[in-house]
Amino acid sequence: MKNNCLFCAITAGEIPSFKVYEDDVVLAYLDINPFSEGHTLVVPKAHSAGLLDTDDATLAAVVARVRKVAAHLKDVLGCDGFNIMQNNGEAAGQTVMHLHFHIIPRYAGKAFSFAGEKGDMDKLKALAERIAF
Ligand code: AMP
Ligand code: ZN
């Protein structure tokens, strides 16, 4: 696996993903254990472990993409809001040690918890095909 890192392997195409957006800086794809419909990860192509290991220019470029993808998700999903989550360190719940931002769409009146449930792969595939840009 590239860099012995799951998200580097996805960027390298060694492992498939449900792609939502890609440019020179990031790859964004659906989280396979979504907290809500459209839960998307925005992942820089360059490896760094977390917020404190990432240089300012890269971080600024990634955050600009987080906003771009979030704006798109709001448009196509019709969600009422969204949470941005970014975990650092095992103690904070980080499980993949490659910087990533969660965009978690929120729907007014819909039950929600910050606990992922294993997604239905066919539904995730169909959703990614519908919302990719
Ligand atoms: P974190 O807990 O912030 O490190 O988040 C890692 C996220 O990656 C979790 O929400 C996982 O569900 C998600 N994840 C793990 N493997 C994959 C994968 N192959 N494709 C998409 N998301 C994944
Ligand atoms: Zn990596």
pLDDT tens digits, 80-111 = 999 999 999 999 999 999 999 999 999 999 99
Which residue's CA is minimally distant from atom 22 of ligand 1?
31
**Ligand nearest, relative to CA of residue 29:** 1
pLDDT, averaged across the chain: 97
One-letter identity of residue 112: F
**Ligand nearest, relative to CA of residue 10:** 1
Distance 109 CA to ligand 1 centre (A): 26
Q: For residue 61, how far is the Cα from the chain centroid?
A: 15
Query: Near ion ligand 2, which residues have CB within 5 Å?
Result: 3, 5, 7-8, 47, 98
* Domains and their CATH numbers in the chain: 2-131 (3.30.428.10)
Q: Does ligand 1 have an atom closer than 6 angstroms to the CB of 117?
A: no
Q: What is the mean pLDDT of residues 24-42?
A: 98
Buried-state track 11-49, b at ≥16 Cβ within 10 A, e below 16: beeeeebbebbbeeebbbbbbeebbbbbbbbbbbbbbbe
Positions marked active-site: 100
Q: What is the mean pLDDT of residues 122-126?
A: 98
Instruction: Determine if the pTM surpasses 0.85.
Output: yes
Which residue's CA is minimally distant from atom 2 of ligand 1?
94
pLDDT of residue 127: 98
